[in-house]
Amino acid sequence: MNDGRLKNSVRNVLGALINKATAIVFPFVIRTIILYYLGTEYAGLSSLFTSVLQILSLSELGIGSAIVFSMYKPVAEGNNAEINALLKLYRKFYYIIGVTILFVGIILIPMIPRLINGTYPNDINLYALYLIYLSNTVLSYFLFAYKTSILNAFQRSDIESNLTTLINTGMYIFQIITLIAFRNYYLYIIWLPIATIVINIVRSRIVNKQYPAIRCDGEVSQEVKHDIFKRVGALIGHQLSGTVNCSLDNIVVSAFLGLKVVAQYGNYYYVVSALSGVMQVTFNALTASIGNSLIKESKEKNLSDFYDLQYINSWIVGWMCITMLCIYQDFMKLWAGVKLLFTFDIVVLFVIYFYSWQIRRTVLTYKNACGMWWADKVKPYVSVITNLVLNFSLVQVCGIYGVMLSTIVCYIFIEAPWETHALFKEYFKQRTSKYWKNELMYTLLTIILMVMTFGVCECIKINGIMSVFVKCLICVIFPNILWIICTFKLNGFKRVQIVVKRIVKRGNN
């Protein structure tokens, strides 16, 4: 990776991580206030409506990803006319998407009460609350969300990250004040669409000032349109799979088990979501630089970079899983209380769920950077159908266990092998044997370190916040030292050393 791409990647990753840290800490505080000031059912409502609107947002169909991919080449070539035409097309698509989400969202209004098994808070009008969530989702499509594509294509996603960090921090503060002062869920939730409006207006002004030559103008050639529609056609399934696998669980739990279990599940899933969010923003920030490298560098160089990134991802994901297993229950007991605890076997399922999901990051990032969504276009439909069948079947047999197992099965036996085969066959033109050999080695090492670290943590007999602190300290030091000892001779670790030295040198300068 050359210095320009490294600079952009580091800047984007740092901006994205700061933004994600804000999006983890403040919502955590807010969820805590809701649990203790309003009750578990309100927390369940928040999780349910967020999942419903994520399903509705499927109408975006991956158009944003396809447009940004199409911008990589004109950006590298300095072809502003082509970029302008693509931006105009993107704006048109987003207007259509906004109308579609609004229309479908209104049609679904009569079905909202059926998504809840049992009772919900007496002072809540489900329809009014749903419309507030719906308006927040729709607003971005009618405003300037399409301009995010310019920042992503020019490898300046840090600007978007810093903007949302600033505005959302203000929103979170007002939400906290509102909840404590008024204990009113409506006043709390109304800040969402307000913040969305502000972010879109400020983003538009920043992009106009930063890139004055870029504007919605011109027409995209039929060849480019055909290429975009081809990619979107393949992306529909991938969007469907990604959203359904992540959002369906809350809806199924609510419909079959009730809002209290949704809140209980949501508390545990919040940790998974927070950690996966860190991984997502980190790899999203790398995507544009990887896309640039795929255009300019040889396949041999890109394959070498891929294996290095696989090593780094396996290290980070493995360490996160070790930490989750060791402190999950202590943290949940401290945060939500004993009454909202799951049993330890469900904790193990959450760890497996997270690992099977996040270990795929490297392959998915390279596939997205390649725009290679058509190579495995059948996979997401197979995964979604399997997940739906298993979800609705197993939840009635074994409750929350069935909901989690259905997604884990899809990740391990459908998603991972299929997408890996597609990437290596279509781009690298090689067999996947080395990749799976590496994956098996990293997974076995993670399991061994997990058992050892958990054994050390079990020797800690203190309780409360000190237990969490001491176990965190053990998880930060013990497994990472052992990982380095076991892997320091691998090329991946050597690459980590080189990148760290570059970053430190750049920081000193």
Below-70 pLDDT ranges, the chain: 1-9, 57-62, 234, 503-509
Q: b vs e for 90-105, b when ≥16 Cβ sit within 10 Å of the residue's Cβ?
A: bbebbeebbebbbeeb
Tell me whether residue 55 is exposed, middle or buried, using C-beta atoms within 10 angstroms of its C-beta: 0 to 12, 13 to 18, 19 or more.
middle
Rounded to whole angstroms, what are the CA distances from 172 to 144, 145, 320? Answer: 22, 21, 26
What pLDDT is attached to residue 64? 75
Rounded to whole angstroms, what are the CA distances from 338 to 167, 332, 333, 343? Answer: 35, 8, 5, 11
What pLDDT is attached to residue 205? 94
Q: Which residue has the tokens 């076997």?
A: 345
Rounded to whole angstroms, what are the CA distances from 186 to 51, 112, 132, 172, 176? Answer: 18, 17, 9, 15, 13
Q: What is the DSSP string of 387-441?
A: HHHHHHHHHHHHTHHHHHHHHHHHIIIIIHHHHHHHHIIIII-S-SHHHHHHHHH
What pLDDT is attached to residue 498? 83
Tokens of 409: 């099965």
For residue 309, the Cα-to-chain-centroid distance in whole angstroms is 18
Tokens of 343: 């049993």
Tell me whether residue 397 is exposed, middle or buried, using C-beta atoms within 10 angstroms of its C-beta: 0 to 12, 13 to 18, 19 or more.
exposed
What pLDDT is attached to residue 230? 76
List, for residues 364-407, the tens digit of each pLDDT value: 999 988 878 778 888 988 998 999 999 999 999 999 999 999 99
What pLDDT is attached to residue 503? 64
3-state secondary structure 262-317: HHHHHHHHHHHHHHHHHHHHHHHHHHHHHHHHHHHCCHHHHHHHHHHHHHHHHHHH
CA torsion 424→426→428→431, rounded to 10°? Answer: 40
Q: b vs e for 486-503, b when ≥16 Cβ sit within 10 Å of the residue's Cβ?
A: ebeebebbebbeebeeee
Q: What is the DSSP string of 68-86?
A: HHHHHHHHHHT-HHHHHHH
List, for residues 52-87, the tens digit of each pLDDT value: 877 776 555 567 777 787 888 888 888 999 999 999
What pLDDT is attached to residue 506? 62
The angle formed by the CA atoms of residues 228, 231 and 235, to the nearest 5 degrees, is: 130
Residue 32 neighbours by CB distance under 10 Å: 14
What pLDDT is attached to residue 330? 95
Q: Report yes or no: 16 and 285 within 8 Å, Cβ to Cβ.
A: yes
The CA distance from 463 to 467, in Å, is 5
CA torsion 493→499→502→504, rounded to 10°? Answer: -80
